[in-house]
Each structure stands twice: as structure tokens, then as C-alpha cells.
Structure 1
């Protein structure tokens, strides 16, 4: 089963400054063990091998053990931070559990949005000729309904000769784009839930020192750096839409309306905010301004360098500057730029398409087309070092306001609160620039 949330990383909460090498190793083992334990707990709960009471007891016992460990070991991280993450983890897997079900074959699958709507409106749903409908009058008397939504990422794009994606739609990956159900950047980023409206993290500044070979009895090298704490606050993205009561009665139609009018649009705005948010007016502070530009020297293209050459150069900057520590997994670019690159031809009129299956430009590097990306610009990186944190998951409210009653309309509200950041020590995992600038930089002088 494809899990909707990424694995919780507890090592971020372990403060090993000033500890000996042996003491630091103890903390690394503790972090790894806690990660494995929580992943196993997630798996057991989703598969109905334990109930919610047992899961809560397991997390409570873990919390107590951490508090005891803090009193015994010097330098241990703030237990409050870890306990908050444990509570967040518990809330997240309970939410995902509600959005999954076990198939007859024993597998676990995510419920569709329509099924989640039906669950949220339980008690107001009737089934006529196999079609589920909502009793609008009964729901009106209750005053509406509010529920959290788990949106599964789009199915992988298949070729026209391959298996169809969700909904029975076959997509030609040479000319089409998979249906978008959420911010695409989430598929390649570091995503987790948080229980507070802000995140405080540590950045390393002025790092010096590196690993080295050490002779028997020789002095071990050390790394030094100053540590600076940074606080990032969550922002809210929301959208309302109005549909007729007739649409509300037809759950399959309501599902498509919510996807088209709310979920897709919130996803696009969220992704734009992650990179371009101003940090004011309710927006989150985007990471775009902090990503370094192209600066690598030594690459020279003698004959008509193009956009693909610029991409290879940017990719090379990331892997070379980091000594292969990072592996770029995505590039964001405007759909028009992507189309122009696909349509590039050589002098003989033949298409130059250096693309691999699944829109990979270089092995492991996928394209994320985003109309919010400025024409002519791009962002590339190892987006596993882009941290996206959800404070309030996507929630939906179905209700009535103002003169909705008399107009036979229903108001649907979708909203979420989240934040994003890149730690300063990971900035070299990214490059943000224009194709024109990079092409100019790599053009060999006559």
C-alpha cells in the first residue's frame, strides 16, 4: 500500500551538541529504533492488528519512557517536542485509518473522495438504484457537516498501451498530463503533520571540517559550525464554492465538483505559495528567494546550447558541489517551456527528445509542470530536503449561508494550514534560475 504520509524523523529532535562520539551513537540508535517502532505501529493499526485503544496505550508508554530517559541522560532533546510529534503521529494515523478499508483479498486501499463524503454524511445518505444520495433536508436541519479529507496522489501515468489510471482513463504520457489532485511537489518533498502552528528548527552556519582517513591512534577530525534557530509560521489557504442542492444529492457528481472546484485549485495555490509566498497577508513565506542561482563553471557547450543543456548543467552543479550528497529528483517548469523543449528540432527537422519513460529528463529527475512557475524560469533540486509541514490537514465543510436556502444552493468550504522551509545547510541541494542565464553561462566562447 502506498502510504499517504512520509516516515516520521525523530532524529531532528535529538540534540547531540557537546556529546562524545560514543554518546552520539547511542542517540542515533535510539532515533532509528523509535522510527522503526512507529512505522510498525502504523502498519499494525491500519491492518486492524491492534485497535485504537492499544495504539494510544503504546504511544503513551513511549512518551513516559522518553520522559524517564530525559532525566537519566544528559543532553537529551526537549521531551515536549518529541511528545508533540508523537501526538501528531497518533492523530495522523487515526485520520488515515478512517480513510482506508480492507479489501476482500486482505489488502488495504484508500477510500475515494466520494466514499469519504458518504462516511462524513453518514445518517443522511440513502442508496437508490445503486447510487448514493444525500438527504439534503435532513442535513440542513443538522446545519451542515465538516470533515477531514485524505487525498491520495494521482496514479502513475501509463502509456496508451499500458494499464488505465484511476477512473478507467488511459493517458498518453507523450502528450498528456495526469489528473492533478493535490500539490504535485508533495510527491517528491519531505512531508509530515505537525501539532503546532509554527516550527522551530536549527540551522547550521559557517560549517568547517570534513571526514578524513585516520591512522591508528591518530587525531580524529572534527566538524564545527554555529547553530541558529529559525521559526516558521503556518499560513492558511482556503476556497469556497457553491453548488446546487441537486449536485449535493448525487455523491459521484459532488465528488467531481469538489475535486475540480476546490481540491485542485487549493493544490495549485499551495504549490505556488511554497515557492512564492510573501509571508504576509496570511501567506506562508515561500522558499523560492532562498534557493541559489546557477554558478557552476567548467561546463562549455560549443554548438547551440538549449534548454535541456541548461538542465544538465544545473543538475551537475547540485551533484558536484555537494560531492554527490544530493540526487535531484524533480524540476519545476512552466508547461509552455516544457512544450517548447519537447518541440525542439535539429537542422534536419527531427525532434530532439532526450526524455525517458515517465517524463524523466535524467534518470531519477522528473518534471513537475506548474503554470505558476514564471515562463523561462525553473527550480531543480533534491526536494527530499524541502520540508512541508501540515498543521491543519485539508478539511471540507458543507453548509448553507446567506440566501443559499432560497436559491437551492450549498456552500462548500475547503481549507488547510501548512508551512514549508529549506534549512540553510541544504540550500546547495537546489538551483533556481532562468534557462537564458544558464545557457549564456555554458555557451563556449568563440
Structure 2
């Protein structure tokens, strides 16, 4: 078997043949030019020789250029498609030697002396171009996520764990028209300094490296579940946190109790009436309500309410309008007790601060490395400031009773 020529040897041969073709074209051109100057007529044979020489020269020039481009790509890492592990195996000397002997037993090994990666460059071990891709049909749209209580509240950021703010506790307004020369009335306001700290909300789970490798999308599923779990606990803390230990001081423990303002009828009130009166109570405290928080079961009961002839009062079953009542958005969450409600001016009355954004971290813990395990951690660090407790109304959804 003849020895296979290298790319450099082929390039030199192509170059020599190309130069010979160019010289031939030059010779034919000079011969033709001399005959033209001497007044001789060019023969058909000369024209045919010239055409053939030009075609040959162009072909060789193209081959030389293509080879030069391939060699340039090889030098810059842009080589032919990388070989798969199977190709590397069957082309290895160990396999060829083993296969040539027509064996009935034994084995052939491929010693991998580099890290196999999914890179598509010409670096050793790059097999990315030989890997398959799975394309799922259609477009996977983002699901319509329900609102969380946090979505109603003002959002902020802090740079340290300690948070202090001034909260108004009382205001007496004595503003009045004043006659010329008369003493003007005095109003007063009471304030207090409040302080809180950011709290860590976190949880983790272990997963084997084999599971991460063998089960497609398991990692993203874990990420989503862990982050979703943070949101649920965060919602519980924003609503009911008692402020002790590592708990936030939630809105409900500080909210005003629901009561029907004087002058309104108390007989025959429905659950829907109760929520309208709660919004009124917030307005009368000079904090116009911006939302309601209800248990999903209670909101379903409201949506299922019908009039005397069977028509739904709140929207239609096929409607796509976001949940709202009395022009205010409704957040339905199982974190609020069934039969209870929270209505208020969420943006004016409270603010949630992020010290650490929700995040996922992966690492080894204890003997994880030797057991092929990974620890996946999700955590956030947040603080809650309730500026105006009177901006929030909390109570029972049962038909209201007057004072």
C-alpha cells in the first residue's frame, strides 16, 4: 500500500502543477501575440489549445485556493467536522490491529488522553459536531402565573440587613379658615421609629449526578420547584409572619379589623358586599385600596355566585379577564385562611426589600463528591416594612354585622 501524502505535500504538488499551467498559458499567449504582430491569422488549433490551457489553469487555481483555505482553517481551529467517539475507535490503531487478525475473542481499547467535550473546534476530544440535537415541535409558551401578594406591594432593595423607617402613628388635622389678625390653629402628628432586619428564606435538596445526567430537564425542574417553594413561604411570611426570631412581621398581625362604617346598612349584606365595604374602610382611612387577597376556595365561591335566573354575577366561565372585584385585582392564595380576607392599599401601606435575590446554588457538601451527589440550594434574603397598618383591612368573609 502506497504511503498517504500529507496536506503539505499535496499543496506543493498542486502549486507546481498550477505554475506549469500558468507558464503554458503564457507561452500560448506570447505565440498568439507574435503571430498577430506578423499579420498571421490565428488557427483554430491555437485557439483550442489556449482554451484548454485556461480551463486547466483555472481548475488548478481553484484547487490550490480550496486547499489553502482548508489548511488555514486547520491552523485556526476551524477544521472538518469533529469525529465521534465511534469514529475515533474504529480508526484507532488498536482496533485495526485487532480486527485485521480476524479474532474470535479478546478486545480492543481506545485510550482517551484528553477530556471529551461538546466543543465543535478541532481541539482533541471535541465531539460536539457529532452529537444529536432534539428539537421539540412548536413553541413552549410561558404559563400564566398567578399573582402573588408580593406583586401588589411596592418593591425595593437594601444594601445591609438592618432596616429602619419612620412610621406615622397619628395625625390631628386642625386646618381651618383664619380671620385677619387671629391666631392660626395648630395641628400635630405622631411618629415612631421602626426597625427590622432582612430574613433568610431557604431550602435545599440532594440529587445524584446520574439523575442529573440521565433525566432530561430534571435540573430545571428542581430549580423551578425550589424557587416556587421560596415564593410560597415568602407569601406566608408577608401575610402572617409574627416578627419573632427569623420571621418577618407580616401585614395581617398589624392590619385594622374589619367593621362596617356608620351610615351603611348592615342587613342582607353578602360576601361581595363585605369586600366592597372593606375597600371603603381603607378609603376612609385615606388609603385607597389597591387589591384583595382571598383563599382560592372563597374566590371560587364568589365566581360561582348566580342571580335569581342562573346568570353568573362575576364574569363568564369562558372569559379571560384577570381576577378582579370592585375594580381591584384579586390575589388568590392558599396561604390566607379560608373564610378570611385582606383588603388594602398595598403599594402605599407596605414595601418588601430584597437583600439577596432568589437564587439557586449547586455544590458538594460533606461526602457528596465521593457519593456522586450534588446539593442544590435555593435561598433569598428579604425584609418587610409595613408603613401604614391602617391601610390594610382584615376580617371574616361572613356577612358583615354592624357595630
Aligned to 2:396: 434
Distance 1:131 1:233, change over 3 A: farther
Is the 2:266–2:401 contact (alpha carbons within 8 Å) kept by the matching residues of 1?
no
Is the 1:248–1:410 contact (alpha carbons within 8 Å) kept by the matching residues of 2?
no
- Please point out which of 232, 240, 259 is paired with 2:224: 259
Q: Residues of 2 paired with 1:396 and 1:195: CA distance?
A: 20
Q: Residues of 1 paired with 2:361 and 2:140: CA distance?
A: 25
Work out whether 1:401 is the aligned partner of 2:392: no
- Please point out which of 330, 336, 341 is paired with 1:367: 330
Unaligned runs of 5+ in 2: 1-116, 120-127
Aligned to 2:256: 292
Could you list the per-position Cα deviations for residues 318-337 of structure 1 after superposition, in whole angstroms to 9, with x for gaps in the alignment? 11332xxx331211111111
Could you list the per-position Cα deviations for residues 252-285 of structure 1 after superposition, in whole angstroms to 9, with x for gaps in the alignment? 542232112x111110101101121132342222
- Please point out which of 167, 179, 200 is paired with 2:164: 200
Aligned to 2:379: 415
Is the 1:209–1:221 contact (alpha carbons within 8 Å) kept by the matching residues of 2?
no
Is the 2:223–2:360 contact (alpha carbons within 8 Å) kept by the matching residues of 1?
no
Work out whether 1:352 is the aligned partner of 2:316: no
Work out whether 1:315 is the aligned partner of 2:279: yes
Could you list the per-position Cα deviations for residues 295-346 of structure 1 after superposition, in whole angstroms to 9, with x for gaps in the alignment? 223222654x321111111111111332xxx331211111111111112233
**1:422 Cα deviation (Å)?**
1.2
Distance 1:283 1:205, change over 3 A: closer
Distance 1:366 1:215, change over 3 A: farther
TM-score by length of 2: 0.59
Point out the more displaced range, 293-302 or 246-255.
246-255
Unaligned runs of 5+ in 1: 1-123, 133-163, 171-177
Is the 1:291–1:432 contact (alpha carbons within 8 Å) kept by the matching residues of 2?
yes
Work out whether 1:381 is the aligned partner of 2:344: yes
**1:9-24 alignment runs, 5 A limit:** none
Q: Residues of 1 paired with 2:223 and 2:272: CA distance?
A: 37
Work out whether 1:188 is the aligned partner of 2:149: no
Could you list the per-position Cα deviations for residues 384-406 of structure 1 after superposition, in whole angstroms to 9, with x for gaps in the alignment? 02111122222321012245445
Could you list the per-position Cα deviations for residues 223-251 of structure 1 after superposition, in whole angstroms to 9, with x for gaps in the alignment? 42233211112221101023342554588
Q: Residues of 1 paired with 2:264 and 2:168: CA distance?
A: 30
Q: Number of paired residues?
A: 269
Work out whether 1:343 is the aligned partner of 2:316: no
Q: What is the Cα-based RMSD across aligned positions, in Å? A: 3.3
Q: Residues of 1 paired with 2:282 and 2:251: CA distance?
A: 17
**1:102-121 alignment runs, 5 A limit:** none
- Please point out which of 236, 239, 262 is paired with 1:275: 239
**1:413 Cα deviation (Å)?**
0.4
**1:416 Cα deviation (Å)?**
1.4
